[in-house]
Amino acid sequence: MTQSHPTSGPVADPACPVSLDLLGEVYRADADDLPELLATIAEPTRSKLAVYLYGKSHMHQLGLTVARACEREDLVRVAGEIGSVVYGQSRLKPARPAVPTEAAAAPARKISLAGAPAKKISLGGSAAKGRSFD
């Protein structure tokens, strides 16, 4: 029986539609170079790659980026209804960052109990009615 050692190198995921080298290039590509790189990948493989990346939580956004370079019909052909969902999500506008409201922009007030006057404590009962225990 042969066991792989942790230092023996990366093992390709059999579900990944491209080589580890190409996957690494796609992962490391900057936003300007990625469209050119994706254009070199055949359409069915590109659609499979988009769905594969979309399914990985740490590469979800990259999957949507790859899906933007695909046609809806190709994504549906390789992944069915999921392909349609990936296509739709890839065409959504990114969410705008929240604009701070007036209340959120105002500085927080400092709260201090040190300046409050001391309260007189009563232990109750008729004998303690007139006495203060400070």
Q: What was the pLDDT predicted at 1?
A: 47
Q: What was the pLDDT predicted at 49?
A: 96
Q: Could you list the residue range(s) of the whole structural domain that residue 31 is in?
A: 20-90
For 103-113, b/e burial (b = at least 16 CB within 10 A) is eeeeeeeeeee
Query: What span, in angstroms and rounded, lies between the C-alpha atoms of 102 and 104?
Result: 5
Query: pTM higher than 0.85, yes or no?
Result: no
What's the domain count of the chain?
Answer: 1
- pLDDT of 30 > 80? The answer is yes
- Residue 45 belongs to some domain of the structure: yes
- Residue 103 belongs to some domain of the structure: no
Going by C-alpha positions, the residue among 65, 73, 57 that lies closest to residue 89 is: 65
More confident residue, 97 or 39: 39
- Residue 106 belongs to some domain of the structure: no
φ/ψ region of 30 (left if φ > 0, alpha if ψ in -120 to 50, else beta) reads beta
Q: What was the pLDDT predicted at 103?
A: 56
- Residue 77 belongs to some domain of the structure: yes
What's the whole-number mean pLDDT along residues 52-76? 95
- pLDDT of 2 > 90? The answer is no
